[in-house]
A and B are shown apart, each in its own frame.
Chain A
Amino acid sequence: MCAVGAIARSALQIIGFLVGMVAPAWGAGIPLDETRGVFTLAPVLEAAAPAIVSVVASGVVRSSVRVVGLPKRGQSEGSGVIVDAAKGHILTSHHVVNGATSVAVTLHDGRALEAKVIGGDVATDIAVLRISPADLTAVPLGDPSTLRVGDFVIAIGNPFGLGQSVTSGIVSALGRGGLNAERHEEFIQTDASINPGNSGGALIDTQGRLVGINAAIYGPPNGAMAMGISFAVPIDVARAVMDQLVAYGDIKRGRLGVSAADLAPAQFARFGKVGALIKGVEPGSTAERAGLSVNDVVLAVNGAQIRNARELNNRVSLIRPGGKAVRLSVVRDGRAYTVDVPVTEAQPL
């Protein structure tokens, strides 16, 4: 699986896009353009398009596969999304700007600006850029936890450096992981056409809210292109990374000192299909001191439900150590508890 720019050696590349649209309640889903009398995504796009930029990083040392369509050596071309107009903050993919000595951003209206890289995170493949905040348009952030498989989504980016392109599809799967064990993965999977150059671009819902950053596509190791299986980093993950990068300039990951496993089907009847089963508690860890024990089932982290062990690890890893303890909702022997566990620093990924 590779980032749209290229990530790994194996069989996939990353990028994604959505299309689709048919909703039972027609009125609620797709906007109606009354002057033309047609249902169309155009009104959503007119609002969002100015927030999507193209990104060219120079001086990039590419460590992985060459992707057909990307420009010359030493340059990486991708996309980015303005998420804070007042501060000039742009989200993009880490692999687009990794190793760059300079980064240029071209706005939808044609303005070309130099961008500063505030920071980047390999594990989530998210980076934050800053441009001079003059007359910018940002796209509002959505809530990925409300997405459902089958929802219509729209991708906006700069495939092959062609210029801004819009593609559409549906949410194919949620919480997709296991593509590369070393990384933080809980992708939104989509069938919208995503191609090299779409990396770092927007995945928006039909209300025009940013739900993900397009990051990777499934495909052959060399020259992967859209085949209907693409992956976006959920915007809540991207935002947690951005908040740390903006405030501290780096990412520190949290840990509790537990190992966890998904619930086995035999346990569904007792606990339901969601949650993470504690398999081990490290001696001397904050988890041990807080009283967590083997066979506890964690159902939520700071009030947000978790579906499986990977989500527990991902949620905790996005919490910067040194702050407030994390509140876990736990079931033990059929009774519900909440446990506050201080977060300690994990080894960098």
Chain B
Amino acid sequence: MGNNSTDIPTGRSLGRGRLAGALGILFVLASPLVAGAAGIPIDEARGGIPTLAPILEQRAPGVVQIQVSGTAELRARNGTTQQRQVQGAGSGVIVDAAKGYVLTNHHVIDNASAIRVTLSDGRTLDAILVGSDQATDIAVLKVAAERLTAVPFGEPDQLKVGDFVIAIGNPFGIGQTVTSGIISALGRGGLNIENYENFIQTDASINPGNSGGALIDMTGRLIGINTAILGPGGNIGIGFAVPVDIARAVMDQVVKYGDVKRGLLGVDIEDVAVDQVAKIGSAGALIKMVRAGSAAEKAGLVANDIVVGFNGANIRGANDLRNKVAMTRVGNSVNLTVLRNGRSQTVEAKITETAPTL
């Protein structure tokens, strides 16, 4: 399964790597609707039909097309290398209209020497790369323009399997395209696409060129950045989005510092066993070992502690804790909720050690 996944290829290959594999990544939404409060809007002017149009009219201007050009080193069969001009296409999401910040995928802008952004109103702008993080496949661009529209951040922690979602992007470079579906799974990992994987899986149609585009919920908020698909190069109903809380943590670091510095807690962890989850009433990450001199040791954590909370959010398993720690910049402190001998306590750990570069 692992090697069947790749990132969503951009329109034309920007060099080696992600685009080359057998499968591409993208996604789309299937349909549905909700009325009323936060449901599917009803268009009264057209006979009261349920439609996603009102959400899209509001949010579509926040999703942009991205064209990149750059130089890639191509290796010929005889071992010689050659510099080739390459171009690619992808998608991006404006998340801060005042400052002009655009989220996209790292693999969309990797190797790019020039990045152009086309807004939904047709304006084309040069973009600056603020920073990029390969491990999560998130990059942040900045454009200078008036009258930008941003997509507000949603809360991926509130999502449930079965919720309706909408993807907006630029598949195959054909122009802004909206697709719909549901959330197929949450917390999907083990794909070996990225170093940190906590994907939202969806059956919305995602295709090459959707990379970096928006996955929004029925309230029109951004919940993920569409990043990868399982499939032979086009949609088969299995798409993956980086949850927006991860994208946001990366953005916060690169905007402030220009890079991402991942912290280490210094523990070996595993999922709490199935029969234990029922007993303790919670999923979590079981600490198997605490390394000497680590942040965890200094905070007083010991083997067999179960971490169930991280800065107030529930921990769903070892991968979840690993991802959350990785989103914490070195020098910051975190509050961990820990079960020890059946009793809950909170400890503060100051992250001082930098994770090895991936």
Contacts and interface: CB of A to CB of B under 8 A. Distances in A.
A193 B238 contact: yes
A19 interface: yes
A38 B218 contact: yes
Given A21-B33, A166-B182, A168-B31, A39 B236 contact: no
Interface residues on B, range: 35 or more
B288 interface: no
Contact of B164 (A17, A40, A161, A225): A40
B236 A226 contact: yes
Interface string B32-56: 1111111110000000001000000
Contacts of B181: 19, 167-168
Interface string A257-272: 0000000000000000
A164 interface: yes
A41 B158 contact: no
B230 A160 contact: yes
A140 interface: no
Chain B contact surface mostly: loop
Contacts of A38: 34, 37-39, 163-164, 217-219
Contact of B274 (A42, A45, A110, A160): A110
B162 interface: yes
Given A41-B182, A69-B1, A22 B40 contact: yes
A18 to B, nearest CB: 9
A33 B160 CA distance: 10
B203 A19 contact: yes
A76 to B, nearest CB: 14
Nearest to A48: B162
Contacts of B161: 42, 45, 49, 166
A166 B159 CA distance: 14
Nearest to A230: B237
A32 interface: yes
Given A21-B32, A160-B4, A167-B203, A111 B274 contact: yes
Contacts of B277: 109
A227 B238 CA distance: 11
B218 A42 contact: no
B305 to A, nearest CB: 21
Contacts of A45: 160-162
A333 B344 CA distance: 81
B154 to A, nearest CB: 11
A282 B274 CA distance: 60
Contacts of B31: 19-22, 168-169
A77 B139 CA distance: 37
A113 to B, nearest CB: 12
B34 to A, nearest CB: 3
Of A19, A30, A192, most buried by chain B (CB within 10 Å of CB) is A19
A327 to B, nearest CB: 42
Interface string B189-223: 00000000000010100000000000001110000
Contact of A22 (B50, B201, B230, B235): B50
B116 interface: no
Contacts of B231: 225
A165 B274 contact: no
A291 interface: no
Of A39, A44, A109, most buried by chain B (CB within 10 Å of CB) is A39
A168 B4 contact: no
Of B39, B203, B230, most buried by chain A (CB within 10 Å of CB) is B203
Interface in A93-145: 109-111
A45 B38 CA distance: 20
A26 B235 CA distance: 29
Contacts of A30: 32-34
A162 interface: yes
Contact of A40 (B4, B160, B238): B160
Interface in B152-195: 158, 160-164, 181-185, 188
A162 B182 contact: no
B33 A26 contact: yes
B232 interface: yes
Contacts of A160: 1, 4, 230, 238
Task: Give the top 5 A-B pairs by smallest Cβ distance, nearest first.
Answer: A193-B237, A39-B34, A41-B162, A19-B30, A21-B32
Given A19-B181, A41-B162, 8 more contacts: A21-B31, A26-B50, A36-B158, A45-B161, A164-B185, A165-B185, A165-B238, A193-B203
14 contacts: A21-B31, A30-B34, A36-B38, A37-B38, A38-B164, A42-B162, A162-B230, A165-B185, A166-B162, A166-B183, A167-B184, A168-B31, A169-B31, A192-B237
Interface of B: 1, 4, 30-40, 50, 158, 160-164, 181-185, 188, 201, 203, 217-219, 230-232, 235-238, 274, 277
